[in-house]
Structure 1
Amino acid sequence: MRPVCDLDNIEVANVFGVKKEMVLSYIEREQVDQKFKRALKTDNHIVVYGASKQGKSTLRRKHVSMDEEVLIQCVPNHDIVSIYSSILRQSGVQMETSISEKVLSHDDSDSKAKIKAKIPLFGEVDAEFGGKEGESNERIVNYKSIEINIEIAQDIGEVLNGISFNKFIVLENFHYLDDEIQKRLAFDLRTFQDMGVRVIILGIWRERNRLNQFNGDLIDRIIEIPVEPWEDKDFDLVIDKGCKLLNISFSDSIKNNIKNYSFGNIGIVQELCKELCFAYGVLLKKPLHENFYDEKYLQKAIQIKVEDYTSRHERALESIADASRHYESGLFLPYYIVKIIVLSDVLELKSGIKRPILHNKIKEVHHEPDRVRAGDMTNLLHGLSKLQSKKSIIPPLFDYDRSDKRLKVIDSTLLFFLKFSDVNDVLEEIPNPVDDSAQAELF
């Protein structure tokens, strides 16, 4: 929902920047917004994906109101039971009792979670209370109880159909879920679609057909909406729309630099525009038109954003590198991945590093290059998502595209941070486990 504001007294913070509410410089893109609106009219599930701060949540909020959705903010410790329980609770279904029952199968992995769900029966009784004064009507809602298995998608669908559920289930931050939970949900999506229950999934990744890799039966049952790429003309429209609202304009040089430094990320564009206005001392719409052309104010805005990003990225890189202590004995591969990332050209990082190239780069700087095997690289790259989740790196910095075999940076603020930081200073902040290990052996 857009912020309510006086058009003659518009605040910069309502026009530019990254925030929960939709900023006024939002633009609709044919290849994204129109496709999303068309998808809403189908009976397919919708998957919105792209890198961090590229407008996934904003797109959803623009076209789906709070009254039309049941929102689940996914977190790493979510399982099927907690997700489905939340959906039912938010839909007005009460969980009367909870019974956990372990049923052993041949692999000891089959489990059932039975509950008694109280389904509201609206409109059953209308009762009148009071007399001439203070007369009031009270609507009484009756419930009926049924026993369901909360781990079974069909049971969930039957309950939702029983209450005439007609909202979208939104699974935001789907990428935080364990791979096994993602896979389970991918299979449940088929059941939900057959039962008329629609799901919108938002996740941070860049490859197509992510869910189809878990369940090939989803082909033609989901509509994918990539929010990337943002083109220069899109950025121009955003900047020009915001500037018009604030009665200001940016010089072509400043606009081009903002676009170049954003690495294709709308979040960075928004933040640089906001900080540039603040650097000029502009907080509200200007009564008289003003042109921003001095590059020193853009440099000030850049420095502010570098400082904002430094703490997160230094901590995140250090946390990933520190995982080396608990990784393959003596290889310290997480540390070397971090080192390669920091030393790589940011343009190469933007397009992603192919696995063979990454393997060779690590061998070039590794203290025991002959020990770095392909299998070790596979274990590291396939576990990178879980490693970042375990280290509470939210949103994640990296994603390994298994179909394209490419390591990608999915938080462009890291590219921005590396672009304007001294890489030697960054590496100095990351303890080298090889040195620490050698020193420990002396004692």
Structure 2
Amino acid sequence: MPDFMRNPPRLIHDFPPLPGDLPTITQVNEVFGVSRDLPLNYVERDKVGNKLFLALAQNHHIVIHGSSKQGKTCLRKWNIKNRALDSIKTKTLIVLEGLPLPPQQGPALVLRSLKGYFDYSDRRFVIIGVWLDDNKLLRYNGDLGGRISTVNADKWSRPELEKVISSGEELIGITFDRDFKEHILDSCLDSVWVVQQACYQACIEQGVISDANEGTTVGSLEHAKKLMDGIVQDQASRAESFIDSFSAGPTTMLTNIYRWTIFTVLACDIARLEGGLSVAEIAEFIGTFGAPVDPNLRDLIRELPEISEFQMHHLEISPIVLDYDFGARRLNVVDRSFLLWLSGQNRVDILRQAGMPGNSLRRWQRDVHDLPNSHHKGAAHPRKPVRAPRPVRPAPRPAADA
């Protein structure tokens, strides 16, 4: 063996030690944008964070849920890492990210085991999922009642989003133009991801990559409009692919249910979509603009609970776009990037591309879309009285034993 391999030079000692007072440089990608680490401008939402801390202190299993890209993982990381948890009895927290519902195979086994873990173990699970229903897990395991605490991480208030921006400004030493900030906040549909992404892109496009540009003013109204248009267009391919795939349904027999469900979503006002669509509203839309052979209320109640599984396991979409709240019988859009894309589209064109029958589309356009008070040309239902949803007839009672 050569001498240099027996005694390799210890090069580290050939350099003088680094001084301990070097200035810290804050990079833009540590603050804005999307990162696997906690952003430096993380904002605590008191209502949400306190509920999570209380759940930890109660030694429950915890479910953190909400739309995609709304800070669920950051909420978990911040509270478990930074809070004082000395009072918590559990020794082990097991995190399950993106638990599919309905659960299959491995996840289903874990879900069935949660009661046992609660009763006989000090292990606790933190489950993070893309849904809005607080009681979704109870549908699959009723024994979890009283053993889980749910934390809805979906909502961001305007002041909280403003603080996301101002905290970032302070960290990087910049100021965003006032009109830039107002337009982003007005257009983001309360999506923290959109705010983070728009601020990041504005900095990069203006050459700001760290706090070395202290004192710089970033952005303008025109820049904000351009960035938001770009973010919307970035979602187009995924959104259009989802519409085409979802409309086909899992089988030919079920195609009408799925296609008329997506027609209702595409025709609906964004504000109403943010609150969710009841099954009755979907049935009303179909009864008003569909044909007599199209799906009725009973068909929808039977099939809509299966749409999450269809998206995950048949279409292999992650995150899913639509989810069904079984208790409230409500269809929710759980991908805010889809809502953002839809808000910038001509609804007549989108419905035509999705395959809505011509007569139905013309009737909807005449009765809803073209009305003067249809404020963004996207309300789902006409403002005149409409035919009520078809009633659901009760199933016949079984005959009594003789």
49-58 or 375-384: bigger deviation: 375-384
Q: 1:246 is matched with which residue: 172, 177, 183?
A: 172
Rounded Cα–Cα distance in structure 1 between residues aligned with 2:27 and 2:286: 48
Match of 1:19, SS state, is coil
Q: 2:328 is matched with which residue: 390, 396, 404?
A: 404
Amino acid at match of 2:100: H
Amino acid at match of 2:92: K
Specify whether residues 379 and 200 from structure 1 end up closer, same or farther in structure 2 by C-alpha distance, changes over 3 A only.
same
Rounded Cα–Cα distance in structure 2 between residues aligned with 1:236 and 1:57: 20
Match of 2:244, SS state, is helix
Give the drift of 1:319.
0.9
Specify whether residues 273 and 214 from structure 1 end up closer, same or farther in structure 2 by C-alpha distance, changes over 3 A only.
same
Amino acid at match of 1:383: E
Give the drift of 1:388.
0.8
TM-score (norm 2): 0.74
Q: Which residue of 2 aligns with 1:17?
A: 33
Give the drift of 1:395.
0.2
Residues 336-373 of structure 1 deviation map (CA, whole Å, 9 limit, x = unaligned): 2222212211111111111111111123332x234422
Matched, 1:303 2:229: yes
Give the drift of 1:185.
4.0
Task: Report if aligned partners of 1:350, 1:408 keep a CA contact under 8 Å in 2.
Answer: yes
Task: Report if aligned partners of 1:354, 1:405 keep a CA contact under 8 Å in 2.
Answer: yes
Specify whether residues 44 and 178 from structure 1 end up closer, same or farther in structure 2 by C-alpha distance, changes over 3 A only.
closer
Matched, 1:54 2:70: yes
Rounded Cα–Cα distance in structure 1 between residues aligned with 2:106 and 2:306: 15
Specify whether residues 177 and 213 from structure 1 end up closer, same or farther in structure 2 by C-alpha distance, changes over 3 A only.
closer
Task: Report if aligned partners of 2:62, 2:148 keep a CA contact under 8 Å in 1.
Answer: yes
Amino acid at match of 1:61: K
Give the drift of 1:169.
1.7
Q: Which residue of 1 aligns with 2:6?
A: none
Rounded Cα–Cα distance in structure 1 between residues aligned with 2:52 and 2:74: 12
For this pair of structures, how many residues does the alignment match? 328
Rounded Cα–Cα distance in structure 2 between residues aligned with 1:360 and 1:306: 30
Q: Which residue of 1 aligns with 2:133?
A: 207
Q: 2:248 is matched with which residue: 318, 322, 325?
A: 322
Q: Which residue of 2 aligns with 1:36?
A: 52
Matched, 1:332 2:256: yes
Q: 1:277 is matched with which residue: 203, 213, 222?
A: 203
Rounded Cα–Cα distance in structure 2 between residues aligned with 1:8 and 1:302: 32
Q: Which residue of 2 aligns with 1:365?
A: 289
Task: Report if aligned partners of 1:15, 1:25 keep a CA contact under 8 Å in 2.
Answer: yes
Q: Which residue of 2 aligns with 1:3?
A: none
Rounded Cα–Cα distance in structure 1 between residues aligned with 2:136 and 2:106: 14
> Percent identity among equivalent residues?
27
Q: Which residue of 1 aligns with 2:120?
A: 195
Residues 190-226 of structure 1 deviation map (CA, whole Å, 9 limit, x = unaligned): 1101122211111111121222333343232212121
Q: Which residue of 1 aligns with 2:305?
A: 382
Task: Report if aligned partners of 2:136, 2:326 keep a CA contact under 8 Å in 1.
Answer: no
Match of 1:175, SS state, is coil
Specify whether residues 297 and 25 from structure 1 end up closer, same or farther in structure 2 by C-alpha distance, changes over 3 A only.
same
Structure with a larger share of its residues in strand: 1
Rounded Cα–Cα distance in structure 2 between residues aligned with 1:287 and 1:8: 14
Rounded Cα–Cα distance in structure 1 between residues aligned with 2:246 and 2:229: 25
Q: 2:99 is matched with which residue: 158, 174, 185?
A: 174
Structure 2 alignment gaps of length 5 or more? 1-21, 82-89, 360-402
TM-score (norm 1): 0.67
Give the drift of 1:182.
6.3
Specify whether residues 385 and 434 from structure 1 end up closer, same or farther in structure 2 by C-alpha distance, changes over 3 A only.
farther
Specify whether residues 370 and 177 from structure 1 end up closer, same or farther in structure 2 by C-alpha distance, changes over 3 A only.
closer
Specify whether residues 21 and 426 from structure 1 end up closer, same or farther in structure 2 by C-alpha distance, changes over 3 A only.
farther
Task: Report if aligned partners of 1:318, 1:431 keep a CA contact under 8 Å in 2.
Answer: no
Rounded Cα–Cα distance in structure 2 between residues aligned with 1:17 and 1:371: 44
Rounded Cα–Cα distance in structure 2 between residues aligned with 1:359 and 1:233: 37
Give the drift of 1:266.
1.3
Specify whether residues 299 and 284 from structure 1 end up closer, same or farther in structure 2 by C-alpha distance, changes over 3 A only.
same
Q: Which residue of 1 aligns with 2:391?
A: none
Rounded Cα–Cα distance in structure 1 between residues aligned with 2:351 and 2:205: 30
Give the drift of 1:7.
6.8
Task: Report if aligned partners of 1:54, 1:227 keep a CA contact under 8 Å in 2.
Answer: yes
Rounded Cα–Cα distance in structure 1 between residues aligned with 2:51 and 2:33: 25
Rounded Cα–Cα distance in structure 1 between residues aligned with 2:98 and 2:223: 35
Give the drift of 1:35.
3.1
Amino acid at match of 1:22: L
Residues 369-388 of structure 1 deviation map (CA, whole Å, 9 limit, x = unaligned): 34422221123311111111
Specify whether residues 16 and 209 from structure 1 end up closer, same or farther in structure 2 by C-alpha distance, changes over 3 A only.
same
Q: Which residue of 2 aligns with 1:287?
A: 213
Amino acid at match of 2:71: G
Structure 1 alignment gaps of length 5 or more? 1-5, 66-164, 436-443
